[in-house]
Structure 1
Amino acid sequence: MKLRLLAALLLLPLSAYAQGYGSGVDGQSVFRISDTMAPLSVSGSAVRSPVIASDTRVIRVVSTIDAHIAIGGSSVTATPSTTFLPAYSVEYFKLPQLSAGSYLSVIREAANGTLYIDRMKP
């Protein structure tokens, strides 16, 4: 009995979190594209996206090249040691809840290319 209660208490926060984003098939979160931001030209120098609205919780990102990204406040800068994003891999990122909004910075791995950002909503 105590073990069941403990398991229920441990799983409660997870189920509340999933429901906050909308419950989908097999408990997966369901999102749809809210809007698409202007593409970023990626080169050997880090570039930063325009501010991503503070009400955005999740973004979808895809790049035409291997790149490195970083997400944070207005001073965020991607470097070759930040998160690696393989070419044509669609990735979803939960944004920090910053009152002034979040930014994404990107830098190429080798060749120049383009990064696309979609704002997602539940």
Structure 2
Amino acid sequence: MSFPAGWNGYGVLQAKCRRIAGGVADAQWLCQSLSSELDQWLEPRRWRVAAGRMPQFLIVATNVRLLSVPRRGGIDRVKDLLIAYAQRLGLKDWAPWDANQLSTYSGI
């Protein structure tokens, strides 16, 4: 596995694991969990922000499977959320890795 071309800088791999995954609510859970986490990057008093550890690149890995229904599926909802935060956080790039993507990487 290799990272996309141009991914050279400080990156964060954010893991989000849902104990019981496998339902329609997975995308909603992931979006809420990510929003909560990413909001902390927007708080200047947080240690990781004050220490200058703002990511340039972000990978979100999760055990939930996101559906790919155009414009309303879980994949698009998570991508829309990451696009909004990328602008606010100054991310150069990001990638969501759901259970389907992780299975591809592991050969399962």
TM-score, reference length from structure 1 = 0.29
- Bigger share in helix: 2
Greater share of strand: 1
Q: Kindly indicate whether structure 1 or structure 2 has the higher relative contact order, using CA contacts under 8 Å at least 6 residues apart.
A: 1
Q: Highest CA radius of gyration, 1 or 2? A: 1
The alignment's TM-score, normalised by the length of structure 2, stands at 0.31
